[in-house]
Chains A and B, each alone.
Chain A
């Protein structure tokens, strides 16, 4: 088993700043813009992106947290017991431009759940996807609008994102596992 760092603290910070700029550029400003992160690390990233935009434009964007456990279609396939967090979206998403945020984009199934969950809250004008790492191996027709870094991986590998707020450090590492079957790096994080 080998551990390889692929993204440093500085690189993470630079990506977040760049993504913040791209979001503004793409949306031609911050009008009707809200940020929603998928629990747990997607939410941390969402807060950082919102802070990035707020620092640039002096805004105070609404940030929401989404727990998608009850929307998963693979609950029974996951060997580990799911950890359930609360969803906290205290604002109206009707006609908003939502930036949906997660740390790693992999099969796309988490995002599929998140889209279902979001749409249960109302009808946003757009949903855009921002991720720190896109590691490939999509199983659904889903792509990200904003990507920190594309990292080609094999399905044997485990991509782990760590954030200061939860893990006391900022880093992205790739770990080689013995398991050839897709190890689910997302659940129970």
Chain B
């Protein structure tokens, strides 16, 4: 697989949130505003990039039988570092993301990429994989949080969207709103996928028929 493909697969065909449906818990919890979504996405991408590089570099020396504990130690280290750096340099983001930064450790996407990709591939593909997955995850978070922030708080990235007096639907920035939004987006994407698959099948069928008739 080419490096470009390693990069784009995380954004579209293997989007961690919308396609692999991994890391749902923090995604539902922090997507109450677009700023949170971007912040979480960037922190996540940083950790994933660092852990993918480290694990890919050490893939030959980490003994197979203790690879999971080794990965966890490595990931936890990077998460602690990111947490401290955010606390020191971006205190506001740190307070709003709160408990979810330490939880990046148990975000299954990171361990998943370590296990499924970084320990089998070289450093360069692993970097592309991490960047693609990170950007895909960030985009997914932004999409969810955009819906939730606009509908639930009437703002986008903190700026008021509606000038009218209609109060926004609070439920969208409460936990149920996260489930409703994610459910609707997944349903929409699956529908699109089905339509695409059906179209493709039809196309193949017609090609086959043409070939048959031409034969």
Whether A and B are associated in the same complex: the answer reads no
Which A residues form the contact surface with B (CB < 8 A)?
none
